[in-house]
Structure 1
Amino acid sequence: MYGAESAKIYYAQHTARGKDYLAEAEVVAEQIHQRFPGASSVLDVACGTGGHLKPFTELIGPTEGIDLSEPMLELARVDMPDIPLHTGDMRSFDLGRTFDSLTCLFASIGYVDSVDELNQSLSCFARHVVPGGVVAVEPWWFPETYVDRWVSSDVVEWEGTTIARVAHTVREGDTSQMQVHYLLASPSDGVRHVREVHRAMLFTRKQYETAFEQAGLRPEYVPGVLSGRGLFVGVRV
């Protein structure tokens, strides 16, 4: 879970890089409306700092967000004070209401710890959409599409601070382990080093589809969209 410092770095990095939340939301909204043309509400699970919330409000209708990290939600509330935001675990949250559609993007589903927790999460998602409602989940890489020992890097400027990021990801069994190192440099604070470790499950396509089906969702996999990982879209039967 992202703490206060990690949440601020996440927000700064993706904002400075110009992550195109609107374009991503357009892809997802199109898939939702193909299956439920009248969909007019969205719950964004693992919404983070809320980059997709405003676009979904414009493209679909009233949107709410939920995330396990309160520091991430605090940043989202600054930008979107009028959008309801909730603290909750994707495996077990209960908002006591349903939506026409539910999204879980940016491969956040990969942070669950097992197939059982994947099943729990999809069941939780299904409970929060109306009959005929749509659940859209962006997966992490499949075992056969994951590239072992991948290195990525970038440097951005944000509000007087230079942020250099280097990441190295290795496979360990059915998981990927990403070591991320940040150097943050500013005139007032000098240079600081921040290290994070991200563990994500390498579920198979079949495991995702089975989790959808067991939750009462009819799944379809849309390949190649978003970051190339594709999108699972399920309709509640």
Structure 2
Amino acid sequence: MTTIDDRPADGYTGAVARVYDLVHQGKGKDYAREAADLAELITGRVPGARSLLDVACGTGLHLAHLTRRFARVEGLELSPDMLAAARHRNPCTTVHHGDMRDFALGTVYSAVTCMFSSIGHMAGQSELDAALAAFAAHTEPGGVVVVEPWWFPDTFTPGYIGAAVVEAEGKTISRVSHSRLEEGATRIDVHYLVAEPGRDIEHLSESHRITLFPRTAYELAFERAGLDTEYLPGGPSGRGLFVGVRP
């Protein structure tokens, strides 16, 4: 068995980036449906919305579907390996390399989105404020910011174990995760076994610290960014969505 642990702390890199989509799609994540629902939410608040920036776009699966719904769609991603995958998947789409806390693209969009709880990687209120300020700065007047949060402190389940086995692209992949409480945050450790004919089994691992911001922390960050905000329960992962409109 080959062991691979090629990621920095809190990073989606290397081999993990290559199996990321296979696992989540195999677990039932429907990127096409989520993109359609997101587009409907945006156009419901911004009729005629034509442009969108997806922050922390990962490997670009949402982008691939959103490009069919808006005239101009772009992405922003920090992880070099995720960025490379997003650009490969979306060769006609601009995907910027940047950090959600301090990016400056010199343009604005009808909508700025940040999905799959990527915002939880902000380390505290100051970083959360910085991210929302950057989102708002890239949103045109009357435009909308949509953020999918991580769990709130009162909805997080310490000790949660997740497990899945998926088969895709000739690979059999098992994923096991363990989430625990760590000083106001979730520490989630994830291990993968990847098997395919003619190759040694690979062991991949990743570890992430995701802040358990209360709902009020998100609302404060939206307010400080000058956005009129509402919280919608449910959302694609059951963690809800924050929707902010720039007056």
TM-score normalised per structure 2: 0.92
Greater RCO between the two (CA within 8 Å, min separation 6)? Answer: 2
Q: Which runs of structure 2 are paired with 1:91-130 in the superposition (5 Å)?
A: 91-130=101-140
Q: Is 2:176–2:190's contact at 8 Å kept on the other side of the alignment? A: yes
- Offset at residue 225 of structure 1 (A): 1.8
Tell me the distance in 1 between the aligned counterparts of 2:178 and 2:194.
18
- Offset at residue 18 of structure 1 (A): 4.8
Alignment RMSD? 1.2
Kindly indicate whether residue 194 of structure 2 is the aligned counterpart of residue 178 of structure 1: no
Tell me the distance in 2 between the aligned counterparts of 1:155 and 1:190.
18
Q: Is 2:42–2:49's contact at 8 Å kept on the other side of the alignment? A: yes
Q: Is 1:29–1:59's contact at 8 Å kept on the other side of the alignment? A: yes
Which of 3, 23, 26 is the matching residue for 2:33?
Answer: 23
Kindly indicate whether residue 146 of structure 2 is the aligned counterpart of residue 136 of structure 1: yes
Which of 206, 210, 222 is the matching residue for 1:212?
Answer: 222
Which residue in 1 is equivalent to 2:4?
A: none
Residue correspondences, number? 237
- Report which stretch shifted further, 29-38 or 66-75: 29-38
Q: Which runs of structure 2 are paired with 1:67-106 in the superposition (5 Å)?
A: 67-106=77-116
Identity across aligned pairs (percent)?
49
Q: Which amino acid aligns with 2:174?
A: A
Q: Which amino acid aligns with 2:113?
A: T
Tell me the distance in 2 between the aligned counterparts of 1:102 and 1:50.
15
Tell me the distance in 1 between the aligned counterparts of 2:101 and 2:125.
12
- Offset at residue 160 of structure 1 (A): 2.1
Which residue in 2 is equivalent to 1:156?
A: 166
Q: Which runs of 4+ in 1 moved over 3 A?
A: 15-18
Q: Is 1:31–1:233's contact at 8 Å kept on the other side of the alignment? A: no
Tell me the distance in 1 between the aligned counterparts of 2:80 and 2:21.
14
Unpaired stretches in structure 1, ≥5 consecutive residues: none
Unpaired stretches in structure 2, ≥5 consecutive residues: 1-10
Q: Once the two structures are superposed, what CA deviation does each residue of 1:72-94 show, in whole Å capped at 9, x if it has no partner?
A: 12112222100111100000011
